[in-house]
Structure 1
Amino acid sequence: MSILREIGAHYSPDSGTVFTVWAPKAKKVEVVLHKPEPIQISLQHEAMGYWTGLSEFATPGTRYTFVLDGETERPDPASQHQPDGVHKPSAIVDHHTFTWTDKKWKNLPLHEYIIYELHVGTFTKAGTFDAMIEHLPELKELGITAIEIMPVAQFPGSRNWGYDGVFPFAVQNSYGGPEGLKKLVNACHAQGLAVIMDVVYNHMGPEGNYLNDFGPYFTDKYKTPWGTALNFDDNYADPVRNFFFQNALMWLRDYHIDALRLDAVHAIYDMGAKHFLEELQEHVKELETQLDRNFIHIAESDLNDVRLINPTECGGYGLDAQWSDDFHHVVHAMFTGEQDGYYVGFGKPEQLTKVMQRAFVYDGLYSEHRHRTFGNSTEHNKAEQFVVCSQNHDQVGNRMLGERLSELVDFETLKVIAGLVILSPFQPMLFMGEEYAEQNPFLYFVSHSDKDLIEAVRKGRHDEFSAFAWQGEAPDPQSKDTFERSKLTRSYTSNPKQNQLREYYKRLIQIRKTTRCLAKPDKSKLIARIDETDQVLHLIHRAAEPYAYALFNLSDTEQTTRLLQPDEAHGNWKTLLTSAAEEWGGSGSSQPELLEQKAEITLPPKSVLILVQ
């Protein structure tokens, strides 16, 4: 494991601020303090191309820049605050003054995570961390245990998904900056909510990206879908790796973040002896020991490769969990009928049973979409190592018109899909507004200042949609209206039907939490069967007694089926929930409260029935 080097501006009340920047090819580096009278300080050259210096005049809030070879003046690559945007000076942050009240907080175990993905700018009308705090009790009451925040690293302008960030250490100024994020995390912990931060270590955004002025942060050896790859294994790679290791540690240590969601790790290219992700995990484990805290890493990956989550002693990278795109694609294709783009090959009934038991459909099978054999087996991995959803920022926002499932399927089908996600053995994730069928779309939006870049983004979005049969004209990503249209309305407070759906989600989550075999599921002890004739899916959770039995009528018509009987099961089944009940906005159900083993049962169209022993 490499030795870490502190970078950026680190303030100490006793001694002032130490500045450290990596610029291996510079002959001279200075830091300029933007006081009423500018103060220029020469930095000392140290090993591996680092430059460092101490100033007692640099205090919290002081603006500063680095000057390379007396000519090029730039913000700090490791800036922790860009109060005036990506092109202006950096500002010193003091991490000693915030009053944390979460000393008794302990991160939840992964199997208790019920995740709610959100975007700060569109989660509330104001679009700030402070505005989010008043809505945390709503999420707690819904049953959410962890919020996942889309990236907040400083990006250009005030409107962006966050994946175009160019200052990974700086908290977006328009959201409330470092202080605002700390207040939010502190408030989450007071509500018993864990906080997952979405971080991007596979590329950097274009506007305001000054890293090349400092050193070889990028390599031409590889290309990502978003441009040049970060340099994790080429010449000068060690300080680049250090840059991102330090970034991860900062979120966990200074902002009390509980987990990191690592964006698109398949685009983190590293052919070295120890992969970046494996070493990242080692440094985080060391921080866990120092702080006596537990941290979680969740990867987004396009590879269906369990090497990410396998233990390092078994040749893996040791991450805790990864997203399952296959789960989303099977569910989406089955209920929408979409079969173009990456949905090619998905949507078959037998795939639903497989993905419920294994998280992946393509685990060494030939993929029609990819035109190659794809994925590997999840047989030896725990259910909690996979995060599943029916909607997320990518799958909604990367549609041409940003439609949510509520625009693509009917109300009863929404309830069936919710049951599939929440009653799966995996860690469920909801996308903001899903729980009440938010009608506003979630669109792609930016606020760049470079006209050529704006046109490139527009063209790129148009080209991206060419593989799909979507009709219409894509909204302009640069338009403020596109951003405003993506904000949540929370219309469930005035719409009875939406409120019924939200209450249904709440009940599903409660059932998951309070039923032993669902609270900590075991996919190896899950029975999943589907009768393709009547389109009824049977799920029996047997991780602990009492067993839970969920039946899903996936068809448009009433179906009669017979209950399966696990060999070791005994006693009758008691009804916990039927989605067709009037209280959940259904047409009503005459479902008996008790059912015998192997009983014949009639299920309403598009419905869910949950039983317990």
Structure 2
Amino acid sequence: MSILREIGAQYNPENGTVFTVWAPEARKVEVKLHHPKPESIELQREAFGYWTALAESAKQDTRYTFLLDGEKERPDPASQSQPEGVHNASAVVDHTSFNWTDKKWRGLPLEQYIIYELHVGAFTEEGTFAGVTEKLAELKNLGVTAIEIMPVAQFPGERNWGYDGVYPFAVQNSYGGPEELKKLIDSCHQQGIAVVLDVVYNHLGPEGNYLRDFGPYFTHKYNTPWGDALNFDDNHADAVRNFFFQNALMWFRDYHIDALRLDAVHAIFDMSAKHFLQELQEHVKQLEEQEGRPFILIAESDLNDVRLINPVDDGGYGLEAQWSDDFHHVLHAMVTGEQSGYYVGFGTAEQLVKVMKRAFVYDGLYSEHRNRTFGNSTEHNLAKQFVVCSQNHDQVGNRMLGERLSQLVDFEMLKVLAGLVIFSPYLPMLFMGEEYGEQNPFLYFVSHSDKDLIEAVRKGRREEFSSFAWQGEAPDPQSEETFQKSKLKRSYTSDEQQLKLREFYKRLIQLRKSSPALATPDKNLIEASMEEQEKVLHLLHATKQPHLYCLFNINKQPATVNISLATEVKNWQVVLHSAATDWGGLGSDLPQEIKTKEDIRLPAASMLVLKQAD
């Protein structure tokens, strides 16, 4: 494991601020302090291209820039605050002064994560961390145990998904900056809610990206959708790896983040003997030992490769969990009938059974969409190592019109989808507004200032949709109207049907938390079956007693079925039926107790949960 080097502006109340920057090709580097008193301090060159100096007068919020060879004046690549945007001076952040109240917080076991993904700008009308803080009571009431915040690294302008960030250490100023983020995290921990932060280690955005002025942060060795890859294995790669290791550790140590969701790790190219992700996990584990609480790394990947989450001793990278796109794709294709783009080859009964038991469909099978054999087996992996959903920012926002499932399927099917996710053996994730059937779309939005870049983004979005059979015109990503349309209406307080859907989600989450069979789900101890014609999924959770038996009718027609997976159990008690009027259904005439092999009439698009009664 490499020895880490501090970078950026490290403030100490007793001594001032130590400035450190990596600029291996520079001949001279100065730090320019802009207020309260303009001052220029020459940095001293140290080994491996680092430059450093102490400025006793630099304190919290002191604005500064680096001057390279007397010519290029730039913000700090490791800036922790950009109060005036991506093109202007950085600001010193004091991490010693915040009054944390979460000293007793030790995080949550991964298997207890019920994740709620949100975008700070679109989650509330205010579009700020403070706005999210005000809504925590609602999320606590819903039952979620973790929020996942889309990237907050400083990006151009005031509206963006966050994946165009150019200062990975700086907290977006329009959201409220470092102090307000800390307040949000502290409040989450007071409510018993863990915080997952989405971070991007595969590229940086184009506008305000001055890294090339400092050093070889990028390499021509690999091509990515964003151009040259970040340099994790070429000449001078040690300093680039250090940059991102330090970033991850900062979020855990200085902001008390519980978990990081690593964006698109398949675009992190590294042929080193020790992959960047493996070494990142080693540094995180070392911090765990120092801090005395767990820190979790969750990968987003479209590789279906369990090497990410396998132990290092078994040739893996040792990360805690990863997303399963296959789970989403099977559900989406089954209920919408879509078969274009990456939905090609998805949507069969056999696949739904398989993802419930194995998390992946393509685990060494030929993929029609990819035109190659794809993925590997999850047989030896735990259920808690996979995050699943029926909606997320990508799958909604990367549709041409940003339609949520509430626009694509009927109300009864929304309840079935909720059950499939929350009663799966994996870590369930909801996308903001899903729990009540939000009607506003979630669209792609930016606020760049470069006209050529704006047009390139528009063109890129049009090309991205070419493989899908979607009709219409893509909304303009640059338009503020596109962003405003993406904000939550929160109309469930005045819409009876939406309120019942939210209560249904709340009940599902309660059952997941309280049922012994779901407390620590084991995918090897569940049974599942489904007939292609019948389209009723039978799902038996037998991890602990009392067992749970779930039936999901994913059909527009009623179906008659009986309990076929647990013949040793004679009697079952009805726990929940989505067709009940309590949940906005037409009503249920099922008896309170049902016997094994007894015929059950399931309404179209419905789910039934039974609990072992003997």
Please state which band the TM-score falls in when normalised by the shorter chain: over 0.9
Aligned residue type for 1:426: Y
After superposition, the C-alpha distances for 1:197-221 in whole angstroms (9 at most, x for unaligned) are 0000000000000000000000000
Quote the residue 2:381 is aligned against.
381
Q: Distance in 2 between matches of 1:332 and 1:565?
A: 26
Quote the residue 1:245 is aligned against.
245
Quote the residue 2:197 is aligned against.
197
Q: Distance in 2 between matches of 1:556 and 1:438?
A: 22
3-state SS, counterpart of residue 186 of structure 1: helix
Q: Distance in 2 between matches of 1:391 and 1:272?
A: 35
Structure 2 residue 255 is the aligned partner of structure 1 residue 255: yes
Q: Distance in 1 between matches of 2:317 and 2:36?
A: 50
Kept after mapping to 1: 8 A contact 2:125/2:487: yes
Kindly state the Cα deviation for residue 470 of structure 1 after the two structures are TM-superposed. Answer: 0.5
Aligned residue type for 2:444: Y
Kept after mapping to 2: 8 A contact 1:15/1:56: yes
Name which of structure 1's ranges 303-312 and 218-227 shifts more when overlaid on structure 2. 218-227
Kindly state the Cα deviation for residue 38 of structure 1 after the two structures are TM-superposed. Answer: 1.6
- What TM-score, normalized by structure 1, do the two folds share? 0.99
Quote the residue 2:206 is aligned against.
206
3-state SS, counterpart of residue 521 of structure 2: coil
After superposition, the C-alpha distances for 1:301-326 in whole angstroms (9 at most, x for unaligned) are 01000000000010000000000000
After superposition, the C-alpha distances for 1:370-408 in whole angstroms (9 at most, x for unaligned) are 000000000000000000000000000000000000000
Kindly state the Cα deviation for residue 598 of structure 1 after the two structures are TM-superposed. Answer: 2.1
Kindly state the Cα deviation for residue 195 of structure 1 after the two structures are TM-superposed. Answer: 0.0
3-state SS, counterpart of residue 387 of structure 1: strand
Quote the residue 2:147 is aligned against.
147
User: Unaligned stretches of 5+ in structure 1?
Assistant: none
After superposition, the C-alpha distances for 1:297-354 in whole angstroms (9 at most, x for unaligned) are 1100010000000000100000000000000000000110100000000011110000
Quote the residue 2:56 is aligned against.
56
Aligned residue type for 1:214: F
3-state SS, counterpart of residue 183 of structure 1: helix
Quote the residue 1:545 is aligned against.
545
Q: Distance in 2 between matches of 1:38 and 1:108?
A: 47
The 5 Å alignment of 1:93-104 reads 93-104=93-104
After superposition, the C-alpha distances for 1:124-180 in whole angstroms (9 at most, x for unaligned) are 001000111111011011010000000000000000000000000000000000001
Quote the residue 2:596 is aligned against.
597
Q: Distance in 1 between matches of 2:134 and 2:607?
A: 33
Kindly state the Cα deviation for residue 106 of structure 1 after the two structures are TM-superposed. Answer: 1.4
Q: Distance in 2 between matches of 1:228 and 1:84?
A: 28
Kindly state the Cα deviation for residue 531 of structure 1 after the two structures are TM-superposed. Answer: 2.0
Q: Distance in 2 between matches of 1:351 and 1:357?
A: 10
The 5 Å alignment of 1:315-464 reads 315-464=315-464
After superposition, the C-alpha distances for 1:16-55 in whole angstroms (9 at most, x for unaligned) are 1000000000000000000254200000000000000001
Kept after mapping to 2: 8 A contact 1:74/1:210: yes
Q: Distance in 1 between matches of 2:117 and 2:196?
A: 9
Aligned residue type for 2:592: E
After superposition, the C-alpha distances for 1:56-95 in whole angstroms (9 at most, x for unaligned) are 1111110000000011000000000000000000000000
Quote the residue 2:305 is aligned against.
305
Kindly state the Cα deviation for residue 571 of structure 1 after the two structures are TM-superposed. Answer: 4.2
3-state SS, counterpart of residue 506 of structure 1: helix
Q: Distance in 2 between matches of 1:149 and 1:180?
A: 14
Q: Distance in 1 between matches of 2:509 and 2:56?
A: 53
Aligned residue type for 1:149: I
Aligned residue type for 2:442: F
Kept after mapping to 2: 8 A contact 1:16/1:54: yes
Q: Distance in 2 between matches of 1:155 and 1:452?
A: 17
Aligned residue type for 1:465: F
Q: Distance in 1 between matches of 2:555 and 2:89?
A: 59
Kept after mapping to 1: 8 A contact 2:36/2:62: no
Quote the residue 1:561 is aligned against.
561
User: Unaligned stretches of 5+ in structure 2?
Assistant: none
3-state SS, counterpart of residue 270 of structure 2: coil
Quote the residue 1:158 is aligned against.
158
Kept after mapping to 2: 8 A contact 1:153/1:162: yes
Kindly state the Cα deviation for residue 566 of structure 1 after the two structures are TM-superposed. Answer: 2.6
Quote the residue 1:491 is aligned against.
491
Q: Distance in 2 between matches of 1:538 and 1:136?
A: 35
Name which of structure 1's ranges 505-514 and 531-540 shifts more when overlaid on structure 2. 531-540
Quote the residue 2:610 is aligned against.
611
Q: Distance in 1 between matches of 2:165 and 2:463?
A: 22
Kept after mapping to 2: 8 A contact 1:565/1:597: no
3-state SS, counterpart of residue 178 of structure 1: helix
Q: Distance in 2 between matches of 1:208 and 1:133?
A: 29
Quote the residue 1:216 is aligned against.
216
Q: Distance in 2 between matches of 1:379 and 1:606?
A: 31
Residues 354 and 565 (structure 1), Cα distance of their counterparts in 2 relative to 1, 3 Å cut: closer
Quote the residue 2:507 is aligned against.
507
After superposition, the C-alpha distances for 1:422-462 in whole angstroms (9 at most, x for unaligned) are 11000000000000000000000000000000000000000
Quote the residue 2:110 is aligned against.
110
Aligned residue type for 1:48: F
Q: Distance in 2 between matches of 1:494 and 1:446?
A: 31
- What TM-score, normalized by structure 2, do the two folds share? 0.99
Stretches of 4+ aligned residues off by more than 4 angstroms: none
Q: Distance in 2 between matches of 1:440 and 1:460?
A: 23
Q: Distance in 1 between matches of 2:69 and 2:138?
A: 54
Count, aligned residues? 612
Kept after mapping to 1: 8 A contact 2:327/2:388: yes
Quote the residue 1:585 is aligned against.
584
Aligned residue type for 1:181: L
Q: Distance in 1 between matches of 2:60 and 2:534?
A: 67
Kindly state the Cα deviation for residue 181 of structure 1 after the two structures are TM-superposed. Answer: 0.3
Kindly state the Cα deviation for residue 533 of structure 1 after the two structures are TM-superposed. Answer: 2.8
Kept after mapping to 2: 8 A contact 1:565/1:598: no
Kindly state the Cα deviation for residue 562 of structure 1 after the two structures are TM-superposed. Answer: 1.6
Q: Distance in 2 between matches of 1:396 and 1:404?
A: 6
3-state SS, counterpart of residue 52 of structure 2: strand
3-state SS, counterpart of residue 573 of structure 1: strand
Q: Distance in 1 between matches of 2:281 and 2:458?
A: 37
CA RMSD across the alignment: 0.7
Q: Distance in 2 between matches of 1:556 and 1:22?
A: 61
After superposition, the C-alpha distances for 1:513-547 in whole angstroms (9 at most, x for unaligned) are 10011121100011000022321110000111110
Quote the residue 1:4 is aligned against.
4
Quote the residue 2:171 is aligned against.
171
Kindly state the Cα deviation for residue 550 of structure 1 after the two structures are TM-superposed. Answer: 0.1
3-state SS, counterpart of residue 133 of structure 1: helix
Name which of structure 1's ranges 219-228 and 234-243 shifts more when overlaid on structure 2. 219-228
Quote the residue 1:29 is aligned against.
29
Aligned residue type for 1:210: Y
Kept after mapping to 1: 8 A contact 2:527/2:565: no
Q: Distance in 1 between matches of 2:361 and 2:301?
A: 15
